[in-house]
């Protein structure tokens, strides 16, 4: 057989003869043994490579024994292929992970550990550390030495990441009526380089990565600022007072019974009112979303300032509401106190609550008419009460420099003496025998407006006037058996609302002619819906003997239970403060 093979002609011969010769060679024992040995060595070498990865990540086979995804399997095959054929471009597609701002469960966040050169894709849906998968891409060169990515860990990465705050405020929640967080998503270098896995010896520079991080952070901040700007612009164009009351179980703004500062007159729950649905409404303007009052944010806006309420007992209603809301946001309640240690807020000319940690005070000056109540001797030598339409309240010098001032008047102009106007109104030394109440109101408000224009510095002080709060006496007035104790739901049809008060039309005309800008909080219509929100018979915890005999004769259908309707007035005040800050910031930028 050897001779036959030896003498086979070159380039010729029979095909059958050639095949026989080939099989004869393969049947040689030495040849078979050599083949088996080569295969065994190859298998052993392969096993060693597979289960003994190099610590420098040069092994392309398994950098982790817990690879679970099809994408990571493809990545490993690609790495193996490039290991044995270093000069061949990997044909497999590179899996890229996209970052998303949405809260979808499929969203993927990417991270970069500055203490290692390992590049990781961490899927947000598998936050459990036992399910983390690490995709490592090795790029080797043609030499026997494996070449890997050289990633320089920038020293600013940790600082930049920590400077991106995850701060959700109620302003953010109001933007688009969703909970939005001012996060800036930052992609890892792996995301930027994965599409270049066929490139050899790529070095990621510190400058490029830092610049990319900064760009993404700036873009994220710009997007959030643009959304906030759009929301603030919508607020400034919105009519807050054209809207409706909607049920919202997230209200009230503070837990009923949690505020010990509420006067008995407004503390309906403690006084035994059984229903609580009146606390579960919020005001929804037609053209925008009012921000929910954030006590922490409002305290920051008012840090180092004085907020003053001037007016009648309805402003006291609003003042107590705001104290409870802001106090609820303070951790140490002992640092919120009345300046003179008072715990009851009727009978004195003024009160002041101090928020010590914020160097802030919220104050009340009692002035039911905004002009002075006066006394003169009558013909019999006795004192006669009059109302000086030409003099502002006596306490005006004490609050003229305050940062925010909220004025009101209205209800006392409906009482018998003022509404009749006989021998009561005075200007100078002259007492009018009779003067129409609407004309008297106009003169009083004109006196007030002139004082504001003369004494208030509009660049320092923000001036607001809260309009008339509707009453809901049925079957009489406050002193003649008027009732509202059976009302447990708001009015749901506008045709049952009362006519807009003529006094408020007079007020609007006066405000338009003022030099000083005054923000008019026109709450009349919004309060007219809320016949359910008054204390009614729950205005006192302990009734007098006369009140026990006929409790329904003594009802309060003018003031409001707390928590309740006045909380919404303070939410509008909060929105006005936010808009003022926004305008000031934009003026500073232009300057």
- The residues annotated as belonging to the active site are 313, 556, 559
Distances (CA, A) of 390 to 365, 407, 507: 19, 17, 16
d(CA 556, CA 538): 8
Distances (CA, A) of 89 to 72, 93, 192, 195: 18, 11, 19, 12
d(CA 375, CA 381): 12
The pair of three-digit structure tokens given for residue 416, joined into one six-digit string: 């018998």
The pair of three-digit structure tokens given for residue 348, joined into one six-digit string: 């004195």
**DSSP H stretches of helix in 99-156:** none
DSSP secondary structure code for residue 556 in this structure: B
Dihedral in degrees, nearest 10, Cα atoms 214, 220, 223, 228: -110
d(CA 551, CA 544): 9
DSSP per-residue codes, 418-467: HHH-BS-EEETTEE-SB--HHHHHHHHHHHHHHHHHHH--TTT-EEEEE-
For 22, how many CA atoms within 13 A lie in the half-sphere containing its CB?
6
Per the listing, tokens 């107590």 go with 320
The pair of three-digit structure tokens given for residue 489, joined into one six-digit string: 């739901």
Q: Give Cα 140 distance to the centre of its chain.
A: 51
Dihedral in degrees, nearest 10, Cα atoms 263, 264, 268, 271: 160
216: phi then psi, degrees, rounded to nearest 5: -65, -40
Nearest to 432 by CA among 389, 392, 394: 389
CA angle 357, 575, 338 (to 5 degrees): 35
CB neighbourhood size of 440 (10 A): 22
CA angle 268, 270, 273 (to 5 degrees): 50
d(CA 358, CA 373): 35
The pair of three-digit structure tokens given for residue 515, joined into one six-digit string: 């030099």
DSSP per-residue codes, 175-231: GGGS----------HHHHHGGGTT-SS-EE-HHHHHHHHHHHHHHHHHHHHHHHHHH
Q: Give Cα 417 distance to the centre of its chain.
A: 48
586: phi then psi, degrees, rounded to nearest 5: -70, -35
Return the sign of the alpha-carbon dihedral for residues 468, 496, 478, 352.
Answer: negative
């Amino acid at each position: 057989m050897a001779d036959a093979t030896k003498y086979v002609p070159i380039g010729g011969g029979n095909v059958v003869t050639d095949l026989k010769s080939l099989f004869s060679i393969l049947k040689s024992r030495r040849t078979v043994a050599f083949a088996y040995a080569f295969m065994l060595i190859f298998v052993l070498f392969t096993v060693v490579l597979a289960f003994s990865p190099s610590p420098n990540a040069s092994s392309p086979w398994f950098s982790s024994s817990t690879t679970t995804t099809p994408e990571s399997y493809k990545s490993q095959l690609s790495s193996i292929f490039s290991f044995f054929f270093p000069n061949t471009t990997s044909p497999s597609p590179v899996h890229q992970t996209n970052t998303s701002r949405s809260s979808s469960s499929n969203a993927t966040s990417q991270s970069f550990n500055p203490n290692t050169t390992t590049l990781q894709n961490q899927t947000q849906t598998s936050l459990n550390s036992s399910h983390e998968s690490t995709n490592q891409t090795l790029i080797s060169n043609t030499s026997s030495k494996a070449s890997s990515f050289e990633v320089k860990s920038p020293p600013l990465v940790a600082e930049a990441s920590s400077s991106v705050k995850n701060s959700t405020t109620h302003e953010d929640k109001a933007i688009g009526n969703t909970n939005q967080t001012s996060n800036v998503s930052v992609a890892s270098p792996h995301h930027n380089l994965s599409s270049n896995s066929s490139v050899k010896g790529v070095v990621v520079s510190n400058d490029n990565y830092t610049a990319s991080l900064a760009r993404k952070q700036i873009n994220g901040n710009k997007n959030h600022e643009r959304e906030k700007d759009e929301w603030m612009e919508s607020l400034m164009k919105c009519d807050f007072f054209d809207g409706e009351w909607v049920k919202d179980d997230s209200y009230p703004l503070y837990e009923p019974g949690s505020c010990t500062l509420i006067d008995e007159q407004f503390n309906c729950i403690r006084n035994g009112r059984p229903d609580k649905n009146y606390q579960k409404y919020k005001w929804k303007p037609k053209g925008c979303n009012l921000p929910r009052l954030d006590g922490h944010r409002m305290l920051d806006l008012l840090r180092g300032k004085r907020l003053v309420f001037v007016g009648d007992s309805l402003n006291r209603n609003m003042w107590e509401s705001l104290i409870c809301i802001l106090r609820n946001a303070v951790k140490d309640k002992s640092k919120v106190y009345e300046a003179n240690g008072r715990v009851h807020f009727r009978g004195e000319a003024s009160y002041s609550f101090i928020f010590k940690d914020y160097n802030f005070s919220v104050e009340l000056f009692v002035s039911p008419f905004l002009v002075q109540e006066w006394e003169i001797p009558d013909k019999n030598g006795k004192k006669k009460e009059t109302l000086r339409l030409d003099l502002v309240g006596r306490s005006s010098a004490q609050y003229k420099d305050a940062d925010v001032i909220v004025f009101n008047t209205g209800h006392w102009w409906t009482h018998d003496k003022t509404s009749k106007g006989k021998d009561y109104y005075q200007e100078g030394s002259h007492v009018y025998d009779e003067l129409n109440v609407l004309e008297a109101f106009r003169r009083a408000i004109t006196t007030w407006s002139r004082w504001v224009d003369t004494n208030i510095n509009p660049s320092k002080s923000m001036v607001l006037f809260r309009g008339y709060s509707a009453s809901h006496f049925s079957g009489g007035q406050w002193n003649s058996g008027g009732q509202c104790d059976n009302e447990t739901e708001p009015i749901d049809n506008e045709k049952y609302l009362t006519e807009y008060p003529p006094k408020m039309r007079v007020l609007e005309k006066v405000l338009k002619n003022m030099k000083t800008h005054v923000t008019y909080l026109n709450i009349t219509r919004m309060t007219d819906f809320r016949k359910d929100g008054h204390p009614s018979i729950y205005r006192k915890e302990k009734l007098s003997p006369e009140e026990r005999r006929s409790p329904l004769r003594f009802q309060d259908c003018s003031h409001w239970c707390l928590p309740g309707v006045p909380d919404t007035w303070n939410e509008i005040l909060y929105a006005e403060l936010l808009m003022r800050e926004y305008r000031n910031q934009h003026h500073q930028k232009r300057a």
